[in-house]
Structure 1
Amino acid sequence: MNENYDVVVVGGGAAGLNGALMLVRSRRSVLVLDSGTPRNAPAAGVHGLLGHDGIPPAELYAKGRAEVRSYGGEIEDAEVVGAERAGDGFVVRLRDGRTVRARRLLVTTGLVDDLPDIPGVREQWGSGVIHCPYCHGWEVRDRPIGVLAIGPMATHQALLFSQLSDDVILFGHTNPPSPEQAAQLAKRRVRVVSGEVTEVVVEGGAIVGVRAGGTVVPREVVAIGAPMRARVGFLESLGLKTVPHASGMGEHVPVDPMGRTEVPGVWAAGNVADLAAQVGSAASAGAMAGAQINADLIMTSL
């Protein structure tokens, strides 16, 4: 690892690697720093990505790393703990005490799901407990699905899953549907069960039901729309902060259409900026940000 780079990319997922690829192909010196904790690590495969449907996340990222390195890009398994402005660039601090300088930063650290403290949820997260009908819906089609209403998008989520299974139940939990929403659910034959959910019942490593209001309702799959939060706390020293997303889904980093944040010299792409972005759109946003950073460096040299 050198001491100075044109661009340091913080986060080595689809957005970060595709941004790095655009930059190294423009002959920029690039360092990708990745903590090795991708959000989709528990998933068996990436879906909805043309030409790569079903590819394991680790395999996709390994291919991306190889492509970036083939053009001279550097990738380091390291955790960033902070950054400070230094002249017209930045000093990035790593957990192990090392520092590195960058003229520009691309933040692609993704997000974390604030899962509810309900027994069985974390244990089954990414397998029996899922969140996205487009990422996992085909794999759970025709099975008994329970949707936990823990966020503002629960009814919408249940309606989407009703396209994949005729046996969908919305558990009202602490966020029961409004009368209008209940009418929508009834039209799609989605049953509503009242009562607070206290457990996702797991037996033999698989979900067998949901305990709500003291009663266990048989289910094989549970969907939740947990609040999501962009992982950028370590960059607050630069003034990079999250704000509530208009959808109510969580907190993100606002960016312009080119990925530029409110902090000069800092771009962001992927789920850190777009909570609903899937792998393909995250990669596309990373590519756009990488291209814009390259153009910005050219313009500042004139």
Structure 2
Amino acid sequence: MSRPAAPRHSVPAQPLTDYDVIIVGAGSAGLSAALLLGRCLRRVLVCGSAAPRNVTSPAVHAFFSRDGVKPAELLRLGREQLAPYTTVQVRTAYVTAIESTANGFGLTAEGDTGRGFTATTRKILLATGVADELPPLPGMRELWGRGVLHCPYCHGWEVRDTPLAVYGQGKTVTGLALLISRWSKDVVVCTDGPGHLTNNARRRLRHQKIQVREEPISHLEGNRSGQLRHIVFENGEKLARRAVFIHPAQHQRSDLAQRLGCRRTSTGAVWVDKGGQTSCPGIYAAGDATPGAQKALIAAAEGVQAAMTINETLTREECPR
């Protein structure tokens, strides 16, 4: 007499939603998360609409295996490599609202044609990034990404051993100027008025032979390719520089986290734990929108970490004890 066949293991039925995960943001963090979740056979929708923060930069640097790639090309490759993962869908769409539902979350969005749509999901990953707030100095916006730079780790090598400037006031400009002195021995701090520098800060700058110019600035003068030529002071004097570094203020590119009630840090970043979970259950965040260093490679890693956390959380929900 033959034994009855052992019952096959089956994943318990889950509440019906359109997707397991919806990712808001299609930059390095969002696309990296989508790649890993696709490899986990998760149903994923990626919604992205805005140009990347580094759109004006000629290249992405210090990204392993992609050093020097153009920002748009990096994202094109990211989307291209999602093609084999048929459970992942990428849409050009602007997410207007997210609300909690009995089975997870409901999302409302507007597509690239202006037509609205809705979707439901079990989890949300916010990879919406930040926007930089540049000082209203003529030439600052026009030269942003080429003659006006924000990160020496991204751009310091390209302007090494050339005359450089650092723009800003107080503690922030001091720390950035000292860091920039790694790449050039000719660094000038331009505070555009009173620098609000402590005596200790001035001493440290002098020790590194960093000059401080506190005269008001009229404008930045560059060439047609976006390279900086001169910092022009209001008295008419010109300071020849190859580039100026700045740590601009920032704000969240999207207010979705705030509207959802997610906890934020004192600087406005979306608070997350080490796995990318926000203070709101089921809502995760990764990339520049969260605290910490801001680089494309770091954003990509944070997207992968959040995706791992999400997949493992979903698996626990699907496999009751």
TM-score when normalising by structure 1: 0.92
RMSD of aligned C-alpha atoms?
Answer: 1.8
Q: Is the 8 A contact 1:230 1:242 kept in 2?
A: no
Query: Offset at 1:18?
Result: 1.0
The code of the aligned residue for 1:222 comes to: V
1:226 Cα shift?
0.3
Between 109-118 and 189-198, report the one with greater CA deviation.
189-198
Name 1:264's counterpart in structure 2. 281
Match of 1:199 in 2: 219
Given that 1:11 and 1:107 are in contact with CA atoms closer than 8 Å, whether structure 2 keeps it comes out as: yes
Q: Can you give the 5+ residue segments of structure 2 that lack an aligned partner in the other structure?
A: 1-16
Find the residue that maps to 1:9 and give its secondary structure: strand
* Matching residue within 182, 190, 202 for 1:171: 190
* Alignment deviations for residues 152-209 of structure 1 (CA, whole Å, 9 cap, x no partner): 4211111111111121100123544221111111111111101233321235454222
Residue 90 of structure 1: how far off its partner (Å): 1.0
Q: Hey, what does 1:29 align to over in structure 2?
A: 43
Change (3 A) 1:277 1:207: closer
Asked if 1:5 is matched to 2:19, the reply is yes
2:73 alignment partner in structure 1: 59
Q: Residues 101, 151 of structure 1: CA spacing in aligned structure 2 closer, same or farther, 3 A cutoff?
A: farther
CA contact (8 A) 2:147 2:222 kept: no
Contact 1:13 1:61 in 2 (8 A): yes
What does residue 228 of structure 1 align with? Answer: 250
Give the partner amino acid of 2:130.
L
Letter in 1 for 2:184: S
- 2:104 is aligned to 89
1:100 maps to amino acid: A
Distance 1:241 1:151 in 2: 28
Quick check: 1:83–1:235 contact (8 Å CA) kept in 2?
Answer: no
Q: 1:151·1:226 contact (CA, 8 Å) conserved in 2?
A: no
**Structure 2 counterpart SS, 1:286:** helix
**Does 2:294 correspond to 1:277?**
yes
Aligned equivalent of 2:8? none
For residues 38 and 180 of structure 1, what CA distance do their matches in structure 2 show?
A: 38
- More displaced, 286-295 or 225-234? 225-234
1:192-243 per-residue CA deviation (whole Å, 9 max, x = no partner) reads 1012333212354542221335333222211111012222313433113543
1:117 to 109, 115, 136: 136
Q: Give aligned pairs, total.
A: 295
Structure 1 portions without partners, runs of 5+:
246-250
The structure whose Rg is larger is 2
Give the C-alpha shift of residue 142 in structure 1.
1.8
Alpha-carbon distance in structure 2 between the residues aligned to 1:211 and 1:204: 17
TM, length-normalised to structure 2 = 0.87
Q: Which amino acid aligns with 1:91?
A: G
Confirm or deny: 8 A CA contact 1:151 1:227 kept in the other structure.
no
Over the matched positions of the two proteins, sequence identity in percent amounts to 35
1:179 aligned partner, one-letter code: N
**Mean CA deviation greater in 199-208 or 214-223:** 199-208
Secondary structure, in 3 states, of the residue corresponding to 2:212? strand
Q: 1:87: Cα distance to partner?
A: 1.4
